């Protein structure tokens, strides 16, 4: 799946994630209101997102194949891979270098680390 969505693709995907499962006719109506799109524009955009594996239009009902959380997780993974050679410690170091981490954030990160250690 191509990992990056354009601005309008993302706005459209967020609409689907919020409404799904949703009838394609309802989606056309909502897109006309929200984006001033024609029916053909909505179906073209829907086809693109279906081809990318995010959604499926089955019998006139649009269903989610990849959740928003799945998509964001994949985006994050690609970003860390491309920008920090896949190194999570390098990413966290860069993230924390310009801001102080409060105790609550540090505790949450430590809990995540501890939870992952338990899974091993």
Q: What is the pLDDT of residue 6?
A: 93
Q: Above 90 in pLDDT, residue 25?
A: yes
Report domain 7-68's class: mainly alpha
Mean pLDDT of the chain: 92
3-state SS, the chain, equals CCCCCCHHHHHHHHHHHHHCCEEHHHHHHHHHHHHCCCHHHHHHHHHHHHHCCCEEEECCEEEECCCHHHHHHHHHHHHHHHHHCCCHHHHHHHHHHCCCCCHHHHHHHHHHHHHHHHHC
Q: What is the pLDDT of residue 116?
A: 84
What share of the chain in percent tops pLDDT 70? 96
The mean per-residue pLDDT over the stretch 67-96 comes to: 91
The domain segmentation of the chain, as residue ranges, is: 7-68, 87-120
Q: What is the pLDDT of residue 93?
A: 87
Q: Above 70 in pLDDT, residue 120?
A: no
């Amino acid at each position: 799946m191509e990992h990056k969505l354009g601005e309008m693709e993302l706005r459209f995907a967020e609409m689907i994630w919020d409404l799904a499962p949703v009838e394609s006719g309802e989606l056309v109506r909502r897109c006309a209101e929200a984006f001033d799109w024609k029916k053909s524009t909505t179906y073209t955009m829907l086809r693109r997102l279906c081809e990318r594996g995010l959604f499926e239009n089955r019998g006139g009902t649009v269903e989610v194949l990849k959740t928003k959380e799945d998509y964001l997780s994949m985006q994050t993974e690609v970003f860390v891979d491309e920008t920090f050679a896949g190194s999570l410690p390098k990413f966290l170091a860069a993230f924390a270098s310009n801001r102080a981490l409060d105790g609550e954030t540090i505790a949450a990160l430590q809990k995540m680390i501890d939870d992952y250690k338990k899974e091993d």
